């Protein structure tokens, strides 16, 4: 990740609420705690020297419990709340130093926002709500209607344009909130607990939809949540906040596997690992035999490895099927080739399948389930023991963290290449 | 106590202040007198041209449209009763006075309310003044009103406005400040200017509350008509006042009843004006 790819830079942003901010700031620099400062000055530390970068096209999740300062932090990014000190660079321009007019332009063209309780205008129709950002920019009526209709279509709300917000369910209202933010076509989307007010099933749907939308839009999204599952599901990177401080920043895997301190550890210990780990985290190296080898070779390999079946692949490691030891023996006696005895009907899963969705195939399969990529190339196999071990939190089985990291890095460099 | 401090000559000060005002701003007060008289008399002239039964039906229809069938029926019967008792003209005079007072109240009150809702300092200065206006007995400012505007309908209008404007201002402030924070944040987040935020979001959302304030102002200025009649304002109030001074119980009751009927019709009609359709309401 290089410098040119940074969309938002937050440097040392601190927000102090209360009257005696100067003294509080002084004490903060001396390293006094939040409690001490409150006692001495009556000022509350909202954000304590937060610094981080958000990269182009990523979903950056800021997570923390209520009162951790996450909502305050996201509001400093478009200056709904002015930071006490610190710099916030958006595309290299410091918005904390901007005059009102320039700030309004940034809010209109660069950053839009989705709110926890939707914050729709009750006296305007869905279409008028979606148009709001464009209307205040003075964009002409036909054009803004077209743009608004497009973004309503994106979120699946065609046909509701003339309803009022109160006539829609919570989930639909939040789609309007999202459509309104999308209509302005800004690069950056701030989402403040955007799905927290929705019930769990709808929340899942919205998360999936956001991920789908993001795949085609490549916006830079800063997403606030108090829900770790949500953070892990949608976040490319996660920043964990506590008492106004950022405690750890990392990919979901890094946070889960290497919590930087006890606070993060406690946070992640209740995570349902089956919904975080994927097939690629628990798969083992697959033993394979080339399809043009004879059955005797296959038999010999199985004997050496002490296994009862083996996957057959072509030269490009494309999975063709499985061969069992019993069939191989018969074929060797009858003089048949591997092609003849190949069991082509084998269980395959993709590498990003969640463990949660693997239980069924792993438990019923007679031979280890194959993990393949989109071209059917065999990546590894799932051994029952390893899957169960991973669920039990046994880190020895999850030996692919390093690998996952390199994959992320590879993804990133691909993205950069295409930019 | 008396021995410690001589009595403050507050009364003398106020007397000389009012004298000074009367002389210095005579041109201003004369201008106000002429124009207010013009408005009240103009309204009365228009209302008087319309035959009573047509106006009665028009008000009935208005009540039907803005309120309910029941209120429309009440309006028609009530107005018919007023006409029948011979108070039609007095009612029109009162109506012109009240309408004028309310128009001025709205013209002054809503901008003041908006201003105060945006600037805390303005609100802090305005609040005690509004308290003063509402609690000071109306008779007290009726006296200088006569000095400034002489006898007649104008001091009546002015004292009605002073008495009636506070609810409009207060509820305008309240309505604007009651708009939920997250909606304000949303309008800011999309880059609204202060003006856009006010006109497109805060005022429309505050409308029901502002209308409740105007409704209160109408009721208060109606309650001033009897007091206004003491400085020479014509209308139902004058009838009540005359009945009181001449101890005519029956006539007093008739005129009082006419005021009540007017109050109910005006109240019910204006109550529903601000409540717009917002989907599932």
* Residue B280 within any structural domain of the chain: no
Say if strands A111-114 and A6-17 run parallel, antiparallel, or are unpaired: unpaired
* Residue B2 within any structural domain of the chain: no
Which parts of chain A register pLDDT below 50?
Answer: 1-3, 400-419
**Chain pair A-B, CB pairs under 8 angstroms:** 76
Can you give the pLDDT at residue B205? 92
Instruction: Say whether pLDDT at B58 is over 80.
Output: yes
Both structure tokens of A182: 């999308």
Cα distance between residue A238 and residue B32, in whole Å: 68
**Does B279 contact A135 at a Cβ distance shorter than 8 Å?**
no
For residue B200, the 8-state DSSP code is: I
Tell me the mean pLDDT in the region B191-211.
92
So what's the ipTM on this one? Answer: 0.73
Q: Which of B189, B200, B205 sits opposite A78 (nearest CB)?
A: B189
CA of B68 vs chain A CAs: smallest distance (Å): 23
**Does A80 contact B186 at a Cβ distance shorter than 8 Å?**
no
**Domains defined along chain A, listed by start:** 3-110+186-271 (3.40.50.300), 279-414 (3.10.580.10)
* Residue B3 within any structural domain of the chain: no
Q: Which of A82, A99, A132 to mutate to test the interface with B (most CBs of B within 10 A)?
A: A132
Number of folded domains that form chain B: 1
Q: Are B223 and B260 in contact (CB under 8 A)?
A: no
For residue B199, the 8-state DSSP code is: I
Both structure tokens of B6: 């001589």
CA of B52 vs chain A CAs: smallest distance (Å): 39
pLDDT digit string (tens) for B156-199?
Answer: 898 899 889 999 999 999 999 999 999 999 999 999 999 999 99
Can you give the pLDDT at residue A414? 46
Instruction: Say whether pLDDT at B277 is over 80.
Output: no
**Does B191 contact A132 at a Cβ distance shorter than 8 Å?**
no
Cα distance between residue A210 and residue A140, in whole Å: 29
Closest alpha carbon within chain A to B206? A123
Q: Which residues of A touch B276 (CB under 8 A)?
A: 123
Q: Which residues of A touch B204 (CB under 8 A)?
A: 123
Cα distance between residue A99 and residue B58, in whole Å: 55
- B58: helix, coil or strand? helix
CA of B185 vs chain A CAs: smallest distance (Å): 7
Cα distance between residue A151 and residue A172, in whole Å: 13
For residue A368, the 8-state DSSP code is: P
B195 and chain A: CB distance < 8 Å anywhere? no
Q: Which residues of A touch B182 (CB under 8 A)?
A: 115-117, 119
Phi, psi (rounded to 5 degrees) for A63: -120, 145
Q: Which residues of A touch B196 (CB under 8 A)?
A: 136
Q: Are B142 and B159 in contact (CB under 8 A)?
A: yes
Q: Which of A106, A121, A166 sits opposite B201 (nearest CB)?
A: A121
* Helices assigned H by DSSP within A337-383: 338-341, 359-364
CA of B180 vs chain A CAs: smallest distance (Å): 8
Can you give the pLDDT at residue A397? 63
Q: Are A380 and A286 in contact (CB under 8 A)?
A: yes
Cα distance between residue A22 and residue B248, in whole Å: 74
B194 and chain A: CB distance < 8 Å anywhere? no
How far CA A368 is from CA of A106, A286, A307, A362, B225, in Å, comes to 54, 9, 11, 7, 94
Can you give the pLDDT at residue A410? 44
Nearest alpha-carbon partner for B261 in B97, B70, B91, B55:
B91
Per-residue confidence at B280, pLDDT binned at 50, 70, 90?
very low
Can you give the pLDDT at residue A7? 92
Q: Are A84 and A21 in contact (CB under 8 A)?
A: yes
Residues 6 or more apart whose CB falls under 8 angstroms from that of A376 comprise A318, A319, A348
CB atoms within 10 A of CB A15: 23
Q: Which residues of B touch A190 (CB under 8 A)?
A: 189
* Residue B276 within any structural domain of the chain: no
Q: Which of B193, B204, B281 sits opposite A104 (nearest CB)?
A: B193
Can you give the pLDDT at residue B274? 60
* Residue B4 within any structural domain of the chain: no
Q: Which of A78, A117, A123 sits opposite B205 (nearest CB)?
A: A123
**Does A112 contact B189 at a Cβ distance shorter than 8 Å?**
yes
Closest alpha carbon within chain A to B207? A123
Both structure tokens of A339: 């092609």
Can you give the pLDDT at residue B176? 94
For residue A139, the 8-state DSSP code is: -
B196 and chain A: CB distance < 8 Å anywhere? yes
- A128: helix, coil or strand? helix
Cα distance between residue A88 and residue A95, in whole Å: 6
Closest alpha carbon within chain A to B182? A119
Q: Which of A80, A110, A111, A119 to mutate to test the interface with B (most CBs of B within 10 A)?
A: A119
pLDDT digit string (tens) for B9-27?
Answer: 888 888 888 888 888 888 8
CB atoms within 10 A of CB B272: 17
**Does A107 contact B278 at a Cβ distance shorter than 8 Å?**
no
Instruction: Say whether pLDDT at B82 is over 60.
Output: yes
Rounded to 10 deg, the angle between the A170-183 and A200-217 helix axes is: 20
Can you give the pLDDT at residue A104? 93
**Does B190 contact A107 at a Cβ distance shorter than 8 Å?**
yes
Nearest alpha-carbon partner for B204 in B272, B279, B274, B115:
B274
Residue B19: domain span? 11-271
Give Cα A295 to chain centroid, integer Å.
46
Cα distance between residue B210 and residue B206, in whole Å: 6
CB atoms within 10 A of CB B81: 14
Q: Are A87 and A11 in contact (CB under 8 A)?
A: yes
H-helix or E-strand spanning residue A188 = strand A188-192
Q: Which of A108, A122, A163 sits opposite B190 (nearest CB)?
A: A108
Q: Which residues of B touch A184 (CB under 8 A)?
A: 190
Tell me the mean pLDDT in the region B33-49.
90
Cα distance between residue A348 and residue A353, in whole Å: 11
**Does A113 contact B193 at a Cβ distance shorter than 8 Å?**
no
Instruction: Say whether pLDDT at B263 is over 50.
Output: yes
Q: Which of A107, A117, A163 sits opposite B189 (nearest CB)?
A: A107
Q: Are A113 and A190 in contact (CB under 8 A)?
A: yes
Say if strands A319-324 and A369-372 run parallel, antiparallel, or are unpaired: unpaired
**Does A119 contact B186 at a Cβ distance shorter than 8 Å?**
yes
Q: Which residues of A touch B (CB under 8 A)?
A: 75, 78, 80, 104-109, 111-113, 115-117, 119-123, 132-133, 135-137, 163-167, 180, 184, 190
**Does B193 contact A164 at a Cβ distance shorter than 8 Å?**
no
CATH code of residue B115: 1.10.3720.10
């Amino acid at each position: 990740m290089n410098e040119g790819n940074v969309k938002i830079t937050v440097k040392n942003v601190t927000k102090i609420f209360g009257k005696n901010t100067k003294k509080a700031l002084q004490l903060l620099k001396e390293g006094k705690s939040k409690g001490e400062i409150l006692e001495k000055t009556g000022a509350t530390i909202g954000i304590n020297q937060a610094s981080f970068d958000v990269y182009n096209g990523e979903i950056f999740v800021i997570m923390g419990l209520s009162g951790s300062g996450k909502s305050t932090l996201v509001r400093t990014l478009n200056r709904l709340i002015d930071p006490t000190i610190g710099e916030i660079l958006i595309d290299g321009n410091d918005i904390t130093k901007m005059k009102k007019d320039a700030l309004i332009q940034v809010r209109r063209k660069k950053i839009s926002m989705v709110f926890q309780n939707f914050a729709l205008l009750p006296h305007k129709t869905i279409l008028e709500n979606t148009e709001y950002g464009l209307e205040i920019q003075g964009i002409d009526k036909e054009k803004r209607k077209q743009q608004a209709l497009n973004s309503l279509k994106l979120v699946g709300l065609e046909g509701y344009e003339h309803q009022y917000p109160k006539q829609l369910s919570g989930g639909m209202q939040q789609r309007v909130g999202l459509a309104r933010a999308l209509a302005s076509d800004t690069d950056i989307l701030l989402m403040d607990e955007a799905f927290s007010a929705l019930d769990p099933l709808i929340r899942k749907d919205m998360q999936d939809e956001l991920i789908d939308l993001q795949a085609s839009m490549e916006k830079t999204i800063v997403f606030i949540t108090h829900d770790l599952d949500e953070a892990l599901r949608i976040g490319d990177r996660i920043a964990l906040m506590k008492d106004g401080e950022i405690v750890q920043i990392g990919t979901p895997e890094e946070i889960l596997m290497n919590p930087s301190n006890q606070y993060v550890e406690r946070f992640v210990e209740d995570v349902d690992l089956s919904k975080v780990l994927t097939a690629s985290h628990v798969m083992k190296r697959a033993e394979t035999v080339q399809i043009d080898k004879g059955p005797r070779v296959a038999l010999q390999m199985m004997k050496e490895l002490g296994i009862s079946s083996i996957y057959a692949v072509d030269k490009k490691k494309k999975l063709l099927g499985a061969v069992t030891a019993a069939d191989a023996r018969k074929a060797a006696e009858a003089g048949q080739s591997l092609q003849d005895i190949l069991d082509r009907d084998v269980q395959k899963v993709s590498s990003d399948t969640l463990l949660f969705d693997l239980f069924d195939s792993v438990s019923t399969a007679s031979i280890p389930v194959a993990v393949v990529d989109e071209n059917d190339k065999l990546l590894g196999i799932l051994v029952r023991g390893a899957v169960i071990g991973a669920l039990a939190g046994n880190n020895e089985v999850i030996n692919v963290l390093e690998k996952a990291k390199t994959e992320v890095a590879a993804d990133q460099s691909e993205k950069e290449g295409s930019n | 106590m008396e021995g410690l401090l001589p009595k403050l000559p507050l009364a003398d000060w106020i007397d000389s202040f009012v004298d000074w005002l009367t002389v210095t701003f005579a041109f201003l007060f004369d201008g106000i007198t002429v124009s207010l008289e013009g408005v009240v008399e103009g309204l009365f002239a228009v209302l008087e041209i319309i035959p009573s039964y047509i106006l009665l039906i028009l008000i009935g229809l208005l009540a039907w449209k803005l309120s309910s069938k029941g209120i429309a029926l009440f309006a028609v019967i009530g107005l018919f009763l007023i006409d029948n008792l011979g108070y039609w003209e007095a009612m029109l005079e009162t109506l012109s006075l009240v309408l004028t007072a309310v128009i001025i109240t709205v013209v002054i009150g809503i901008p003041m309310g908006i201003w105060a809702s945006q600037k805390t300092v303005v609100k802090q200065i305005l609040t005690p003044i509004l308290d003063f206006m509402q609690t000071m007995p109306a008779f007290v400012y009726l006296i200088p009103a006569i000095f400034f505007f002489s006898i007649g309908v104008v001091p009546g209008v002015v004292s009605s406005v002073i008495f009636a404007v506070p609810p409009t201002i207060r509820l305008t402030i309240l309505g604007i400040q009651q708009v939920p924070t997250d909606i304000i944040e949303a309008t800011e987040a999309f880059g609204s200017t202060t003006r856009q935020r006010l006109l497109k979001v805060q005022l429309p959302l505050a409308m029901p509350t502002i209308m409740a304030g105007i409704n209160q102002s109408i009721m208060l200025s109606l309650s001033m008509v009897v007091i206004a009649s003491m400085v020479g304002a014509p209308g139902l109030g004058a009838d009540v006042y005359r009945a009181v001074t001449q101890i005519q119980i029956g006539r007093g009751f008739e005129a009082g009843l006419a005021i009540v009927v007017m109050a109910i019709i005006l109240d019910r009609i204006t109550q529903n004006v601000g409540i717009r359709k917002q989907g599932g309401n």
